[in-house]
Amino acid sequence: MRLRSLTVVFISCLITFLSWVSIPPAIALTQIRLFDVSYKDCPPELAQGAVISSGSAAANCFLVFGKAENGTYKTVYDADIFGRIYDANNDSVMQNRTRLGSIAEVPPGISDFELRISVPANQPTPLKLKQFKAAGFSGQVRK
């Protein structure tokens, strides 16, 4: 009986050890610093027919742009952009929503980014862009 329990313990330890050795490296979330963030009106071809997510109200189209800094030595993929956007009255433009879009690839170093947003036409400008950041993966997640 004692030999059987020692065999079970040995096999359990062996399986545990082998699972640690054979685990592939994790694809970790990488933080991307966004700075010099600003916005401008969309060109007419992008702005035509802009509506908000409910699909019924008129909207103004804006391009948010700035710089993205990837402090790692690897390209970051599928970086989600987070931030807060307020109108001239300090009312949230995108209530209950901080994820604004994504950047397909962020190479090492500093690069430009741009994303399109639609803002209800009744919200006054200028817009205030705050707390912008991004996070992505060091390997491709989606194909």
Contact 57, 51 (CB under 8 A): yes
Residue 133 is predicted with a pLDDT of 92
**In the chain, where are the structural domains located?**
30-137
CATH number corresponding to 30-137? 2.60.40
- pLDDT tens-place string over residues 88-139: 999 888 877 788 889 889 999 999 999 998 888 888 889 999 999 999 887 6
pTM for this entry: 0.69
Give the dihedral sign, CA 57/63/66/69: positive
- pLDDT tens-place string over residues 13-23: 667 665 655 55
- pLDDT tens-place string over residues 40-78: 988 877 656 554 555 556 788 899 999 999 988 888 888
Residue 72 is predicted with a pLDDT of 87
Of 49, 41, 87, whose CA–CA distance to 65 is shortest? 41
> Cis peptide leading into 25, omega within 30 of 0?
no
